[in-house]
Amino acid sequence: MKFADADFEPVIKKNLTLAGFIRPTDIQFKAIPPVLRGEDVLAIAQTGTGKTAAFVIPVLNLLLRHRRQKEGIRCMVMAPTRELAIQITSVFNTLGKGSGIKTVCVHGGVEQDPQIERLEQGADILVATPGRMFDLISQGFININSLQILVLDEADHMLDLGFINDIRFLVKKLPEKRQTLFFSATINAEIKKLAYSLVKNAIRIQVSPKDPVSKNVDHSVAFIEMDDKRFFLEKMITDHPDIKILVFVRTKVRAERVKAALERVGIQSRTMHGDVDQKLRFQTLNDFRDGKFMILIATDVSARGIDIPSVEYVINYDLPEKAENYVHRVGRTGRGTKRGIAISFCSTEEKPVLIEIEEFMDKKIQVLKINKNDYEAIVDTATEGPTDWKSLIKQAEKDEEKYGKGKKKKL
């Protein structure tokens, strides 16, 4: 099947062609028909398989086929992070260009007045992060009485952020007669319970459930002690100077420490975490996409659904706190038809987490064996030697003072 042969609205077919959409991915092939039929859908698929387009394409077609009955938002998409909300909005705007369908995005981290102004000009589709959305609903700026379609994207992360009660409260206020679409890369007992409380007789779609990591990703683990990780990261970067590398760490403090360590050996990078100003986060992502810099160090805020072209390597500098976050991290590479490589640095104290990840995926991760001589050679030949302990302590104290007391921000 080709998109050009599908029974879509002409403007949507034209935009799909212009955007380079030729054939549907597995999740798109399985999800689009039931969504077009108006059925509720619970879809689980690996990250990087095209889940966003799997709901954007049919939603646009449905809204074009069914004229507006009364004023108000007709489709609401909830996303866990600002970056993902902006990306989803971009896909709606790209594939809905010239259709007359208007999409508005609201999220935290920026002033709400410009967002309110756009809402007052009218919107068919609202893409929102929970915090800002609930604020604007409580202030009376979002009208949900005309809602026909509710989409929850990466809802497991929203639960991690503590929005489950808010979501349940919101659902009670939504029109009972609506279509609900639930998309995620992972699902557990709690997510399943929430999903089935929101959908009615849903079509369940699961693509490659036994292996949640995309087949396009070659992933492996190297056993490296915590204090030595920076030397191996330096070697990885210097051995691959012209490729785009996304480095994941656990905390914002760690992100800044790793950035500082790279700077001391002449390697430029940028960071992405909750304490980075929102405008700078947007600029950082755009510059990384455009190849203006090649090394991005991020916390899990960037692991959910962000589509960054041509990320060839994902380095798990720290293993994630939750096994399912491994899936979202490594899914930043090997997207679409491209291949990618994911390498995890696992210290002795992180081995229990590695076991959890392997149990979650129901498979072993290939071990990159490093013999003792090679290991010692990498550490000994690093630009910044392991004996440079004074600068490390000084930098750690600065980082703790600057980032250690940061408060959790609203999305």
Distance of alpha carbon 211 from alpha carbon 189, whole angstroms: 18
Q: What is the pLDDT of residue 304?
A: 62
Quickly tell me which residue has 């508005």 as its tokens.
104
Distance of alpha carbon 27 from alpha carbon 159, whole angstroms: 23
Sequential pLDDT tens for the chain (411 residues)? 789 889 999 999 999 999 999 999 889 999 999 999 999 999 887 666 788 999 999 999 999 998 766 678 999 999 988 888 998 999 999 999 999 999 999 998 889 999 999 999 999 999 999 889 989 998 999 988 889 999 998 877 776 666 777 777 788 888 888 999 988 877 777 777 777 877 888 898 887 655 556 677 889 999 999 999 999 999 999 999 889 999 999 999 999 999 999 999 999 999 988 788 878 888 888 899 888 999 999 998 765 656 777 889 999 999 998 887 888 888 888 776 678 899 999 999 999 999 999 988 888 999 999 999 999 999 988 876 555 544 555 555 566 666 555 444 445
Quickly tell me which residue has 């007391």 as its tokens.
405
Distance of alpha carbon 139 from alpha carbon 133, whole angstroms: 10
Contacts 24+ apart (CB under 8 A), 283-289: 285/83, 288/244
Instruction: Please write down the HEC assignment for all residues of the chain.
Output: CCHHHCCCCHHHHHHHHHCCCCCCCHHHHHHHHHHHCCCCEEEECCCCCCHHHHHHHHHHHHHHHCCCCCCCCCEEEECCCHHHHHHHHHHHHHHCCCCCCCEEEECCCCCCHHHHHHHHCCCCEEEECHHHHHHHHHCCCCCCCCCCEEEEECHHHHHHCCCHHHHHHHHHHCCCCCEEEEEECCCCHHHHHHHHHHCCCCEEEECCCCCCCCCCEEEEEEECCHHHHHHHHHHHHHHCCCCEEEEECCCHHHHHHHHHHHHHCCCCCEEECCCCCHHHHHHHHHHHHCCCCCEEEECHHHCCCCCCCCEEEEEECCCCCCHHHHHHHHCCCCCCCCCEEEEEEECHHHHHHHHHHHHHHCCCCEECCCCHHHHHHHHHCCCCCCCCHHHHHHHHHHHHHHHCCCCCCCC
Distance of alpha carbon 200 from alpha carbon 38, whole angstroms: 11
Among 37, 106, 120, 46, CA closest to 305:
46
| Cβ atoms of 106 and 114 closer than 8 Å | no
Domain ranges of the chain: 3-206, 217-403
Count of CA atoms in the C-beta half-sphere (13 A) of 79: 25
Q: What is the pLDDT of residue 408?
A: 45
Count of CA atoms in the C-beta half-sphere (13 A) of 85: 27
User: Is 3-206 assigned to CATH 3.40.50.970?
Assistant: no
CB neighbours of residue 277 within 10 Å: 11
Confirm whether 3-206 and 217-403 share one CATH topology: yes
Superfamily of domain 217-403, CATH level 4: P-loop containing nucleotide triphosphate hydrolases (3.40.50.300)
What type of residue is 261? A
